[in-house]
Amino acid sequence: MPATRTLDPAAVRADFPILSEPVGGQPLVYLDNAASAQKPERVIRAVDHYYRHQHANVHRGIHELGRRATEAYEDARARVAAFIGADPDEVVWTRGTTEAINLVAGAWGIDSLDEGDEILLTTMEHHSNIVPWQLVAARTGARLRYLEMDDEECLRLDMLDEVLTDRTRLLAVTHVSNALGTVNPLAALIEAAHAAGALVLVDGAQAVPHMQIDVHALGADFYALSGHKMFGPTGIGVLWARRELLEEMPPYHGGGEMIRVVRRESSTWADVPHKFEAGTPNIAGAVGLAAACDYLTEIGMDAVQAYEHEVVRYAYECLSAMEGVRVYGPRDPANRAGVVAFTMDEAHPHDISTVLDSRGIAIRAGHHCAQLVMEHCGVAATARASFAFYNTREEVDRLVQAVEAVRRIFA
């Protein structure tokens, strides 16, 4: 394996069947990857193969298919764990990032927090890293505090001393902002939180598709991710947590597979990670996600990151040079991954999106489940172009031409 690989966009595009699908009679320019990424042939085939040849319930049957399904499922866990630098028994399957965060909120938060304890969030968070903590705060009497953003939509580390207190029990922070693309300085945040005696949960949904993640090197306590944003199936994701935390935490859902012995009045729990996996899991989803990880490993996350960096920088430069266009988030491309969000003086983001759609370009318009970000930016909505490694400079050119067309209509 060469030390630094380069990515051939034409070759990787050929791996994604939907990218050659015309939309409205035009070639598709898919720039809504932060909402959900497309699936390579490898993932589609892995799911298909699983259902054709391996399916039964897992960890139950003694029969041959049950063995095959269990093997595929646990092998998938090991491969996904390896992809993020984790041990397999620290990897809990969830429906996605949202459920992973709700698991920590429900199992750790409800159980560990008391009145007066503080949960530190940031105004950059996706609603899925805010609302679960509001529910926990309402149940436990814990208090929510927020780390604010500066005028480049980067977190204000200068505020840390003020908002991290001896009552802070948890810092819940996104690795990469879904609404802005801001890459947060996790090392500094984790160090400060740990020094204050707080645990750290990282929402990694928007980071894993764009950069190599090593959860042990990162040093957080919880890391959550979604399969569908990293080219895997929908309905599967991962909560990674330090093993001793998983051991200490009570179960989240009760049911089959998560127990050791069930008696009339009480039960004992299976070992981690199965303690947190009640009910028949999304086996095909796990298999598909592992295939996505294998695929990304073959392309090389270093190549993905280097290639995407150039395309995103080009998009940022083109859009921010346009008159009447305001781009949000960090100006330094080193602090940005995957997203260029913008507004136009004359046209509402919804109108931008409709005109772009008529030219085969898919972006998202709205608040991006990040209303605190919109509040900070002083807008109700933005237009967001979000990238994956299969997007090209030519697609950025088509985006820019379409934004010009929006201006011609609305100017």
Residues that bind other proteins (CB under 8 A): 24-25, 347-351, 354-355, 357-358, 365-367, 371-372, 374-375, 380-381, 409-410
Question: What is the number of other CB atoms lying within 10 angstroms of the CB of residue 379?
Answer: 16
Closer by beta carbon to other proteins, 173 or else 347? 347
H or E, element range at 222: strand 222-226
Considering the candidates 154, 293, 318, 369, report the single residue annotated as catalytic.
369
Return the number of the residue (2 or 24) whose C-beta is nearest other proteins: 24
Reply yes or no: is the peptide bond before residue 273 cis, omega within 30 of 0: yes
DSSP string, 253-270: S-STTSEEEE-SS-EEEP
Q: Containing H/E element for 309?
A: helix 301-320
Task: Tell me how far, at minimum, the Cβ of 372 lies from other proteins, in Å.
Answer: 7
Can you give the length of the chain in residues? 411
**E strands, 73-166, in order:** 91-94, 118-122, 143-147
Residue with tokens 């380069």: 6
Cα separations in angstroms, 189 against 158, 185, 211, 335: 11, 6, 19, 15
Q: How far is the CB of 117 from other proteins (least distance, A)?
A: 23
Q: How far is the CB of 367 from other proteins (least distance, A)?
A: 6
Smallest distance from other proteins to CB 409, Å: 5
Nearer to other proteins, 258 or 355 (CB): 355
Q: Which is nearer to other proteins, 342 or 389 (CB)?
A: 342
User: Quick one: CA dihedral 387, 388, 393, 399, positive or negative?
Assistant: negative
Instruction: Quote the least distance from Cβ 22 to other proteins, whole Å.
Output: 11
| Peptide bond preceding 349 in cis form (omega within 30 of 0) | no
User: CB of 283: closest distance to other proteins in angstroms?
Assistant: 33
Cβ closest to other proteins, residue 49 vs residue 143: 143
Question: Of 37 and 365, which CB lies nearer to other proteins in the complex structure?
Answer: 365
Q: At what angle do helices 283-299 and 41-53 cross, to 10 degrees?
A: 140
CA angle 183, 375, 201 (to 5 degrees): 40
Among this protein's residues, is 318 annotated catalytic? no
Per-residue DSSP letter, 250: P
The residues assigned a catalytic role are 369
